[in-house]
Amino acid sequence: MNLLQDKVALVTGGSRGIGASIVSRFAAAGAQVAFTYHSSREKAEALAAAVSAEYGVTVQAFQSDAASYAASEQLVSNVITAFGQIDILVNNAGITRDTLMLRMSEEQWDTVIENNLKSVFNLTKHVVRPMMKKRKGSIINMSSIVGITGNAGQANYAASKAGIIGFSKSIAKEMGSRNIRCNVIAPGFIATDMTDELDEKTREAYLSNIPLRRFGEGTEVADACVFLASDMSSYISGQVLSVCGALNT
């Protein structure tokens, strides 16, 4: 089913992990996809070529730092020049700088807030105007269940992810009259480079708490994105969808 036929999507942080799965699933659903990376140029170019060849849609990688307001403005302009429109924005780019509060530096706090939360403002700010002109749009912001529950050693990350939820609900209320929807996905533990950084003991502890008894796959988060990006979810806005194997219920 080509749920995203004739739509153009912009996905931040599409070179690896969950973002790469979103790029692939969106293309499989018929969308044309622009996606960003920060430093993984080779991975990004290879992904764009492979996904484009597999699904016969345009897929293009753009180097852009989501934490930069100016770069985000330029990116949106470049994508509109290349693709003509943006119907779907997925703010997926994110980083961790985990440590306990007693050890957390100002730099670790600021970097996570800028990359995870300010980035969502940067991109949303620049896509809403073109979406308003079309009187249609779907914005999907990648939070985390730790933005709902909190997590020891992740005060910076959890704060950024909780901020995304408040931001997204506000955008849903502000932009609803223009038919722009804004929703949040809150993944639990998904097998990516980000979770590969966890030590074995921590992984086992998390695993024993997940009712489905496994980490999720990037494609399982991506499928939720396809739903929220498509007209299948046309009356859903301002919501947080947990994709977490029932870890957070």
Note the residues at the interface with ligand NAP (CB under 6 A). 12-19, 36-40, 65-67, 92-95, 115, 142, 144, 187, 189-190, 192-195
**Separation of alpha carbons 13 and 19, rounded Å:** 6
The SS3 call for residue 44 is helix
**What are the percentages of helix, strand and coil residues in the chain, rounded to 5?**
50, 15, 35
**Two structure tokens written together for 127:** 């896509």
Burial code (b: 16+ CB inside 10 Å, e: under 16) for 77-92 equals eebbeebebbbbbbbb
Q: In sequence order, what are the residues at sequence separation of 6 or more whose Cβ sits closer than 8 angstroms to the Cβ of residue 141?
A: 90, 91, 120, 124, 164, 167, 168, 182, 183, 184, 185
User: Toward ligand NAP, which CB reaches closer, 29 or 140?
Assistant: 140
**Two structure tokens written together for 121:** 């403002």
User: Toward ligand NAP, which CB reaches closer, 177 or 208?
Assistant: 208
235 as an active site residue: the answer is no
The SS3 call for residue 131 is helix
Helix (H) or strand (E) run with residue 34 in it: strand 32-37
Q: What residue type is 223 in one-letter code?
A: D
Other Cβ atoms less than 10 A from the Cβ of 55: the count is: 18
The catalytic residue among 37, 55, 69, 157 is: 157
Beta bridge partners of 91: 141
User: Toward ligand NAP, which CB reaches closer, 72 or 237?
Assistant: 72
User: Toward ligand NAP, which CB reaches closer, 132 or 198?
Assistant: 198
Tell the residue number behind the tokens 């700010």, with chain if given. 125
User: Toward ligand NAP, which CB reaches closer, 1 or 46?
Assistant: 46
Min dist. Cβ of residue 18 to ligand NAP (A): 4
Q: What residue type is 12 in one-letter code?
A: T
Other Cβ atoms less than 10 A from the Cβ of 143: the count is: 28
- Hey, which residues are catalytic here? 157
